[in-house]
Structure 1
Amino acid sequence: MHDGKAGGPKGSGEPRKPVRAFDTMAALDRLKSEKTYEDHGRSILILANEPSLKLALTAIAAGRRTGERRVAGASTVQVLEGEVRFRVEEERHELSAGGTLVLRGNVSYDAEALSDAAFLHTLVQPLEQGRGFPQPVHPTEPAEGRADLDLPGADRASER
């Protein structure tokens, strides 16, 4: 039986808070000052690690690569600063701050920083087959959002 009071960080015995706020840019400054970043030109901080969601903040120096990665579930990668070239299977995408990739599950990717850069990788754990996200219910908003938007800048994040 689950009482909704899952523990905080491993071994801490503290209950998880229902809401957490982050100063992502302060966390990024911290990452860039760590020995891992100095020694290897990249550093990663896990901002959230929930049963169905993980947020990973990556700082990476110009010319460095992440190495090939593959995640089981869908994910997004949003560039927060700098420029990054992503290789997703056979496609190449160059993104600058504000650019976002949406990746389906089980695809291989890697990233190369074209300048000192940072990105936030949001990973969603795979859902049971045939199940999706519940539709939000709010009295003043439609239950479903549009998926057919012609987003500005989409062509800038195209294959290169």
Structure 2
Amino acid sequence: MSSINRPLAGPVLAFDLAEQIASMRAEDPYSRSGRVGRTLAKSGRFRLTLTVMKSGNEIGTHHADSPMTLQVVEGGLRFRTDGQEYTLGAGQVLFFGPGEAHDIRADQDSALLITVSAIGDDYRPGETAGA
């Protein structure tokens, strides 16, 4: 279902990730570039995006203005930020605050959920839960 014909906001949205992933992998942009993303939901400045990547595909350096998470749904990837490299597999989640994210690279055909929150909302570097 294209983004034109589906709701991006509402009181409740449900997604079949396996169906979404299969649909995205069948799209021409995935065949051409090895990567495609689809915003599943947005509300205010909140975004939930599903991205599929072919093995070896990279997302270059980008700047994140707000906290985000990367959750690997299928496959595996490597992620570099602040001089550290993280290897993530299916079922793993990485949280990081604002800053530069470097070289997200799929080690195998992968699908990941990217959650981005609002700029500056409640995030303070070094803060811990319950603080």
Shorter-chain TM-score range:
0.7 to 0.9
Secondary structure of residue in 2 paired with 1:62: coil
Q: CA deviation at 1:52?
A: 2.6
How well do the aligned residues superpose, as a CA RMSD in angstroms? 2.4
Moved over 2 A (4+): 106-110
Unaligned stretches of 5+ residues in structure 2:
none
Query: What amino acid sits opposite 1:90 in the alignment?
Result: G
Write the mapping of 1:7-156 to structure 2, written as runs, cut at 5 A. Answer: 16-127=9-120, 132=122, 147=129
Q: TM-score normalised to the size of structure 1?
A: 0.68
Point out the more displaced range, 35-44 or 23-32. 23-32
C-alpha distance in structure 1 between counterparts of 2:18 and 2:63, whole Å? 26
Question: Greater strand percent: which structure?
Answer: 2
Unaligned stretches of 5+ residues in structure 1:
1-8, 134-145, 149-160
Bigger relative CO (Cα 8 Å, ≥ 6 apart): 2
C-alpha distance in structure 2 between counterparts of 1:120 and 1:76, whole Å? 8
C-alpha distance in structure 1 between counterparts of 2:14 and 2:48, whole Å? 12
Q: TM-score normalised to the size of structure 2?
A: 0.82
C-alpha distance in structure 1 between counterparts of 2:120 and 2:61, whole Å? 24
Share of identical aligned residues, percent?
Answer: 29
